[in-house]
Amino acid sequence: MDEERIRDIEIHLLLEALRLRFGYEFHNYSRASLKRRILGCLSTCAFKRISDIIPLLLRDESFHQKLILALTVTVTEMYRDPEVFKSLKEHVFPVLKTWPFINVWHAGCASGEEVYSLAILLKEGGYLDRARIYATDINEEALCKAREGVYPAGHLRQYEENYRLAGGSECLAQSCHIRYELAMMHTDLRKNMVFANHNLATDGTFTETHLILCRNVLIYFNQELQDRVLRLFAESLIHGGFLCLGSKESLRFSSVADQFVPICSEARIFQKRLEPNHES
């Protein structure tokens, strides 16, 4: 058996150890990037082989944390793909306006930049007071950052430009305190936010939602897991609620695709049908 096949077995065993020991389910993640992440983590340890880290993982609590962080790290920014936020403002906000309260779910929120991005626009539209924003992720360290809402001030120039392209009506700097090198998001943005650890691969729905944002998360999942997650979203959304995916993601692998109508194909915004689809 060649070395590459053996390495595949090692990865399988490592993921199985994570599942049996800690309940994390990574088997249905896209394997190529997961492998890169595992090898990246391995290169920071003194070990040569993937199977060498299994004994450590099973017994060392801090190493398990480190591995989970390495496997789930994500890169995000404020108003990434500004046109998506602009579309949300144009196509989704007018509908949100008609509801007495709005539950928003940011699934896979990472360090929270997009959570604040949307909250600022909701505030400008006058909807933030009746919104509750659930921001979830499996990466605890990222959730802590999201909860703090403190970002490098050096990124603000880029964010400001994105915000302008997203149709923001003020100035992003008005939504945060800048002290030294840090930009701290205003606490009033956070008052209706709930941050929680939630695993899309294993956990269920927790509330009825009106808008779900899950951007650039599905690309990391295989078709089976994508279907699971999209079924979860379909279950959580009210009829007429909205789903916003990443610009390269779609509903095509999902058994619930026919429950949704595309609202803005460029921005990957879908609306759950107002009436249940009787054919399905």
Q: Residue 216 interacts with other proteins (CB under 8 A)?
A: yes
Q: Residue 248 interacts with other proteins (CB under 8 A)?
A: yes
Least Å from the CB of residue 21 to other proteins: 25
How far apart (Å, rounded) are the C-alpha atoms in residues 50 and 70? 14
Residue choice 73, 95, 156, 173 for contact with other proteins (CB under 8 A) = 73
Least Å from the CB of residue 264 to other proteins: 17
Strand partners, 272: 260
Place of tokens 């915000």: 163
Looking at residue 186, what DSSP letter applies? P
Q: Are 196 and 134 in contact (CB under 8 A)?
A: yes
Phi, psi of 190 (to 5 degrees): -90, -10
Instruction: Tell me the number of residues near other proteins by CB under 8 A.
Output: 22
Q: Which is nearer to other proteins, 135 or 176 (CB)?
A: 135
Q: Are 135 and 115 in contact (CB under 8 A)?
A: yes
Residue choice 25, 30, 150, 186 for contact with other proteins (CB under 8 A) = 30
Least Å from the CB of residue 279 to other proteins: 25
How far apart (Å, rounded) are the C-alpha atoms in residues 59 and 64? 9
Q: Residue 43 interacts with other proteins (CB under 8 A)?
A: no
Interface positions with other proteins (CB under 8 A) = 4, 8, 30-33, 35-37, 73-75, 216, 218-220, 222-223, 248-250, 253
